[in-house]
Amino acid sequence: MEKPPSLGDQETRRKAREQAARLKKLQEQEKQQKVEFRKRMEKEVSDFIQDSGQIKKKFQPMNKIERSILHDVVEVAGLTSFSFGEDDDCRYVMIFKKEFAPSDEELDSYRRGEEWDPQKAEEKRKLKELAQRQEEEAAQQGPVVVSPASDYKDKYSHLIGKGAAKDAAHMLQANKTYGCGEATVRGVAGRGTW
């Protein structure tokens, strides 16, 4: 037979129930905050869509959950959104209307933490095109023929001498240790393969 629960066990159970109730209350509060945040973001996105003067909107930095909610709201609304920033606490969301979607250069500048300037981007694009045209022109001219300033024979004549290479070429002898003696040469020649 089991003994009745002691006073300590009842106290532990009471604390566990209180903690579970606090946890459930916190979860409900977080859920309510997320619902309120979503409603607020839906209103801001709706106002953005209705304002014909705005083509993009930058939101304040927010945490990961809030950013994911905002991305979801934007996707449902049919807009384009991107997150930028380095640290998790400093990341922010920018939304764009579909007809004014950002170019790759614009996205790259935001990723670097710079403001997008269309005039600077146009200047960079023109410089890049100019450099590309110059490279193409250089390629069409053909390869540049490089000729050495001096001949290697002249350069190393003090080491090998002037006539050493010619003398070595005339005195070609077969090395018998590698099987290149007269018998081998005659044997191959006798078979008719030469």
* Size (the chain), residues: 194
pLDDT in tens, 5-36: 565 678 888 889 999 999 999 999 999 999 99
Lookup result for tokens 């037979």: 1
Say which DSSP state 162 is in. Answer: S
pLDDT in tens, 179-194: 665 554 444 444 544 4
Report CA Rg, the chain: 41
pLDDT in tens, 24-70: 999 999 999 999 999 999 999 999 999 888 888 999 999 899 999 99
- The amino acid sitting at 53 is G
- The amino acid sitting at 182 is E
| Helix residue ranges, H only, the chain | 7-50, 64-77, 104-111, 118-140, 152-155, 157-160, 164-170, 182-191
| Confidence band of 134 (pLDDT split at 50, 70, 90) | confident
